[in-house]
Amino acid sequence: MKKELMEILVCPVCKGPLQLDIAKEKEGEIIAGSLFCQKCDHTYPIQDAIPNLLPPNLEG
């Protein structure tokens, strides 16, 4: 996921802001990390450079 895409991302449930935590980055792309929604108290993982923004009831 390109770092600049953070500008358009929100929590899929409450549409509130997300806090980015980068675990692995390569050439401006976030390979692993997480996106945290404070309001929902939920963490959305970023794995293989793809953010998992499925609502919590659909995570598998």
- Positions touching another protein (CB under 8 A) are 1-2, 5, 7-13, 15, 44, 48-55, 58, 60
Smallest separation, CB 12 to another protein (Å): 4
Q: For residue 28, which amino acid is it? A: G
> Closer to another protein at the Cβ: 32 or 49?
49
Smallest separation, CB 18 to another protein (Å): 8
CA–CA–CA angle 31, 4, 36 (5° rounding): 65
State the chain's maximal CA–CA distance in angstroms: 33
Helix/strand/coil for 27: coil
Q: For residue 12, which amino acid is it? A: P
> Closer to another protein at the Cβ: 12 or 32?
12
